[in-house]
Amino acid sequence: MYDTAHQELFTLRDLLRYAITQFNSSKLSFGHGSDNAWDEAAYLLLHTLHLPLDTLEPFLDARVLPQERERFLKLVEQRMNERVPAAYLTGEAWLQGHRFVVDQRVIVPRSPISELLSNGLSPWVADPAEVNFVLDLCTGSGCLAVLAALAFENAQVDAVDLSEHALEVADENIELSGLDGRITTHRSDLFDQLPQCEYQVIICNPPYVNNHSMEGLPAEYRHEPTMALAGGEDGMDLIRRLLLAAPDFMAPTGLLVLEIGNEYENFIAAFPDLDPVWLSTENTEDQILLLTREQLAS
């Protein structure tokens, strides 16, 4: 199956062009770290060749060894034929410049909350150094818990998930981050098994995809754990429970930062009396909201 490719593809430029053509002709879906065929092909190529992920240009005309070429082409075929997200093929994902190990026990790290954490949730958190307790609900791979610990350098961070398998991945990422003294994982159904605490910041990227959208998910997303995506009929099943229980675990001035993806209309319909602040990131306008304890308690 690789005969023609073996004969005609010699350089990184050749392999990159070939992969982009294959990805485009296969009509792949992106959104697990990249949003286009070029970026994904370049990432897979640089990863395969153990080259710096931000340094493609100097190597474009370098020739590859036969075994390097075959290793890359196998990844390209797997990406196309099995529709496996690139992060699962490489076993890693990058978020805000930080590397996280991933596999199919967790969704691929991509939450835009990460962008807000890189700025310490400014201006909503006046002084990140004064934040002592942070909760990351539905932590998955633990990526947001790690970024929260970096953003709030004096905080103890609790990372919660219902999935034992997800927490295994989270524990690995926390250990790799060197922050295991400041981040503790808990297996809990939201707050149900969580020790009482008054958190100044709660972040949550819950399962929120509504049933209709779940049925239409591209094949790439079907490799991810269903329990980390599916949010019920209107996507709000878990969020209803979350908003009801959250005030009991928030400091008087506590904040909740919640991601709802493309469920803006369903959120508004489910919670017409809430008036959250909608937080914008580089690529999102109405996918992340902020609520205070005072709003939730009332």
Q: pLDDT for 189-235, tens place per residue?
A: 999 999 999 999 999 999 999 999 999 999 999 999 999 999 999 99
- Mean pLDDT within 111-134: 96
> At 290, which helix (H) or strand (E)?
strand 288-292
Beta strand ranges found along 228-283 (DSSP E): 250-259, 277-278
Count of beta carbons in the 10 Å neighbourhood of residue 54: 9
**What is the C-alpha separation between 266 and 234, in angstroms, rounded?**
6
- In the chain, alpha helices (H): 3-8, 12-25, 37-48, 66-81, 86-90, 113-118, 143-151, 164-177, 211-215, 237-245, 264-270, 293-297
- Mean pLDDT within 256-261: 97
Burial (CB count <10 Å: 0-12, 13-18, 19+), residue 235: buried
Tokens 């390097």 belong to 68
pLDDT of residue 298: 85
Beta strand ranges found along 102-236 (DSSP E): 133-137, 156-161, 183-187, 199-204
pLDDT of residue 3: 59
CATH number of the structural domain 105-297: 3.40.50.150
**What is the C-alpha separation between 57 and 163, in angstroms, rounded?**
41
Q: How far is CA 147 from the centre of its chain?
A: 11
Structure tokens at 167: 């927490």
DSSP 11: B
pLDDT of residue 234: 96
User: What proportion of the chain, given as a percentage, has pLDDT over 70?
Assistant: 98
pLDDT of residue 4: 65
Structure tokens at 214: 């779940």
The residue length of the chain stands at 298
Dihedral in degrees, nearest 10, Cα atoms 170, 176, 179, 185: 20
pLDDT higher at 283 or 263: 263
The model's pLDDT over 131-168, given as tens digits with 9 standing for 90+, comes to: 999 999 999 999 999 999 999 999 999 999 999 999 99
The DSSP bridge partners found for residue 95 are 98
Residue 1 has pLDDT above 60, yes or no: no
**What is the C-alpha separation between 210 and 237, in angstroms, rounded?**
9
Contact 179, 144 (CB under 8 A): no
> At 93, which helix (H) or strand (E)?
strand 92-95
100: Cβ contacts below 8 Å, ≥ 6 apart? 92, 93, 94, 109, 141, 142, 143, 146, 173, 176
Query: Which pTM was predicted?
Result: 0.93
DSSP 178: T
Q: Does domain 3-90 have CATH number 1.10.260?
A: no
DSSP 226: G
- Whole-number average pLDDT of the chain: 94
> Which of 30-34, 67-71, 286-290 shows the lowest mean pLDDT across its residues?
30-34
Residue 279 has pLDDT above 90, yes or no: yes
In this structure, what are the phi and psi dihedrals at residue 158, rounded to the nearest 5 degrees? -100, 130
Residue 6's pLDDT band (cuts 50, 70, 90):
low
User: What proportion of the chain, given as a percentage, has pLDDT over 90?
Assistant: 92
The model's pLDDT over 38-58, given as tens digits with 9 standing for 90+, comes to: 999 999 999 999 999 999 999
- Mean pLDDT within 119-129: 95
For the chain, give every domain's residue range: 3-90, 105-297
**What is the C-alpha separation between 183 and 100, in angstroms, rounded?**
15
